A = this chain, B = another copy of it.
Amino acid sequence: MTALAFDRHNHDRCIAGALKRAETHCGARRLQFTATRRRVLEILLQEHRAMGAYDILAVLSSEGLGSQPPAAYRALDFLVREGLAHRIEGLNAYAACALPVHGPGHGPEHGQEDASDHGHVPAFLICRGCKAVAETETGLAQGRLGAAAREAGFSVERVVVEAEGLCPGCAGAGA
């Protein structure tokens, strides 16, 4: 599992791939990948960073795609629901999904999903220097959290794993 955001990579291709996957995902489920939803995903994909809903709204507003908070929140809710973006709880912000695998299979779109069934929990490395967000995955069942949950008879439906720290670049720059 490589943390894409901190590596040099062909980001244009990265963006194009994510958009293509989103189209495919929506097409397969008869979901409307509307102009606003698509544009919000594009905005999030622009950089590997989390953006606040109001930052996104500002862009939408400047482009005539909506001027009130619900325009942004509705699109974000859709993207998060479909696994095409993630909410970063520690920042009250949103980031595009950077892992091909999440889109068509690991969002909450399955309804009453139990996260302990499989180990695919998205996890984030958040740089406090440059605000970059790298996405990776973490196991749940194998770790101590899963053990504690089983022991307590607690059924896990959703897991948030976020690590804040410094990326290689910012650590080198002496933060």
Chain A interface residues (CB < 8 Å from chain B): 1-3, 6-7, 89-90, 92, 114-115, 123, 125, 127-128, 134, 136-140, 142-145, 147-149, 151-168, 171
Evaluate contact between B90 and A154: CB separation under 8 angstroms. Answer: no
Contact of A149 among B125, B137, B140 (CB under 8 A): B125
Interchain CB contact under 8 A, B3 and A148: yes
CA of A161 to CA of B159, assembled, Å: 7
Q: In the assembly, what is the distance between CA of A17 and CA of B35, in Å? A: 57
**Contact at B136–A123, with CB atoms within 8 Å?**
no
User: How many copies of this chain does the complex contain?
Assistant: 2
Per DSSP, chain A at the interface is: mixed
Nearest B residue to A147 by beta-carbon distance? B1
- Asked if residues A171 and B153 are in contact (CB atoms below 8 Å), the reply is yes
The contact sample of 25 A-B pairs, CB cut-off 8 A, is: A1-B144, A2-B151, A2-B152, A3-B148, A3-B151, A3-B154, A6-B153, A89-B162, A92-B92, A114-B165, A115-B165, A125-B152, A125-B154, A136-B148, A138-B145, A139-B143, A149-B165, A152-B168, A154-B166, A154-B167, A155-B171, A156-B164, A156-B165, A157-B166, A160-B160
Closest 9 CB pairs of A and B: A3-B152, A153-B168, A136-B148, A89-B89, A157-B165, A156-B165, A160-B162, A158-B164, A156-B163
**Known: A154-B168, A156-B164. Is A139-B149 also a contact (CB below 8 A)?**
no
